[in-house]
Structure 1
Amino acid sequence: MTDQWWVDVRQRVEATGAGPAGSKVFGALGHQWVLEDPLARGELAELEAQIGVRLPEEYRDFLLHVSAGGAGPAYGLFPVRRVQGRWRWEGDGADLADSSRLDEPFPDQGPDPELLNDLLAQCPEEEDFVDMEDFDAAMEAWDERWETVMFAPGRTAGAMVISHLGCAQREWLIISGSHRGTIWSDCRVDDVDLAPLLDGDGTPVRFARWYTDWLEKAERTALPTS
């Protein structure tokens, strides 16, 4: 993806937001079609020096030529800002990413299948309890064990949260490792494991495709043709 590829994207986003049905695009009430200024090259270099890793190329070019964040998929693309001399991404759930581990490879696999199977087998069944309070206590204890496994910090090393869809569902951009540059869905709150977003042909969705797919759909909604 070259610099020139992004040349009219900012203008398209602004035109879409100003369209007759811009407010009908999902998430528009959240990001309100605001686009932050792009980063200067010096700022991007400072950001990457702080996190210790070069960001994926498509995302780097977006930051330089379109925006540091704002209007985008779902409730918007989390902006990256310098606050009190340090760079950070801001948004609902942005702090789930460990900024000190962005240079570590994102894991290739999820939790050990045997561990998950054992844990699932231990899930309490209501019919096994006479007292509902005992069942509730057992279920609460099991939920804690489940979350310890599913939300283990190492599972999202090398990744950052870039957007949220509401109801604690989020999307991550992988920064390091073999999945670098791809977008992953996070619906663990609904007991659905982390998974890559895939094209119709099964190809992992990368940042540019993720953003421009959203923009094309938003244009169809906000700029209806007669």
Structure 2
Amino acid sequence: MTEIDWSDIRPRLAALAAHPGASEDYLGSSHGWELEPSLTAAELADLETQIGVELPADYRAFLLQAGRGGAGPACGLSPLRREDGRWTWAESPTSISTLTRAFAHIRGFIPDGHLRERPAISGVEDLWCEAPEDVPEGAAHSDGLLYLCTLGCALWVTLVVSGPSRGQIWSDFSADEEGFQPEQNPDGSRMTFTDWYRRWLTEAETSAFGR
């Protein structure tokens, strides 16, 4: 297994922060290109014991090597906080108690009651909506989802930590009646935390430095 290395992240963020106009750049204005301190191995072990599940390898490596929150896409990564002996992702709707439950979905879907109208083109719905029978009875749509990052207006980017889509990045746009959708790379593969975070960082550098 290839070792996951996030050692380049802080120097790259520092370069962005030092760039003229960095404070006005919409890609970094909400977090100032700064990451919060990383977790210690003991803190990570305590966190995973509390939530009852081992986090996906690339995200847990990020927590250990880069930071526990801060600089990231949109409004940044929801930071981990430990208060009164309990861990939580600050300002995030993540339900700690349901992270061990499987996120049951493998295809994008719009929850019952959220679909304003059926697609007019035959077959289109099948591309992005699961049939109701594909979802286990009693499964909550947010089970197994870690809400990583808000895009504003109650729109969220999530990381699947339990279930068949574990390790994938999914968007929760149910507030806009667009449901839950897996994020994809240009080649059509499902996006991981590494893909998602590094794409944002590369785009930020291209915007700042033109490279």
TM-score by length of 2: 0.81
Deviation at 1:110, TM superposition (A): 6.5
Deviation at 1:201, TM superposition (A): 1.9
> Aligned pair in 2 of structure 1 residues 63, 112: CA closer, same or farther (>3 Å)?
closer
Query: Which whole-Å CA distance do the structure 2 matches of 1:192 and 1:163 have between them?
Result: 17
Q: CA RMSD in A?
A: 2.3
Match of 1:157 in 2: 143
Query: Which whole-Å CA distance do the structure 2 matches of 1:221 and 1:120 have between them?
Result: 37
- Tell whether 2:101 aligns with 1:104: yes
> Aligned pair in 2 of structure 1 residues 185, 42: CA closer, same or farther (>3 Å)?
same
Match of 1:38 in 2: 38
1:181 to 154, 167, 181: 167
Is the Cα contact below 8 Å between 2:116 and 2:177 reproduced in 1? no
Deviation at 1:112, TM superposition (A): 8.8
Deviation at 1:221, TM superposition (A): 1.8
> Aligned pair in 2 of structure 1 residues 120, 192: CA closer, same or farther (>3 Å)?
closer
Task: Select the structure of larger CA radius of gyration.
Answer: 1
Query: Which whole-Å CA distance do the structure 1 matches of 2:139 and 2:78 have between them?
Result: 20
The alignment of Structure 1 onto Structure 2 pairs a total of residues equal to 189
Long gaps (5+) in structure 2: 118-137
Query: Which whole-Å CA distance do the structure 2 matches of 1:102 and 1:209 have between them?
Result: 22
Deviation at 1:116, TM superposition (A): 5.3
Question: What secondary structure does 1:155 align onto?
Answer: coil
> Aligned pair in 2 of structure 1 residues 99, 223: CA closer, same or farther (>3 Å)?
same
Long gaps (5+) in structure 1: 122-151
Query: Which whole-Å CA distance do the structure 1 matches of 2:95 and 2:207 have between them?
Result: 36
Query: Which whole-Å CA distance do the structure 1 matches of 2:171 and 2:180 have between them?
Result: 6
Question: What secondary structure does 1:36 align onto?
Answer: coil
- Tell whether 2:197 aligns with 1:219: no
TM-score by length of 1: 0.76
Deviation at 1:23, TM superposition (A): 2.8
Deviation at 1:181, TM superposition (A): 1.0
Structure with the bigger percentage of helix:
1
Query: Which whole-Å CA distance do the structure 1 matches of 2:173 and 2:116 have between them?
Result: 18
Runs of 4+ in 1 over 3 A off after TM superposition: 109-113
Query: Which whole-Å CA distance do the structure 2 matches of 1:22 and 1:220 have between them?
Result: 13
Deviation at 1:19, TM superposition (A): 1.2
Match of 1:9 in 2: 9
Match of 2:58 in 1: 58
What letter corresponds to residue 174 of structure 1 in structure 2? V
Relative contact order, higher structure (CA 8 A, sep 6+): 1
Deviation at 1:8, TM superposition (A): 1.3
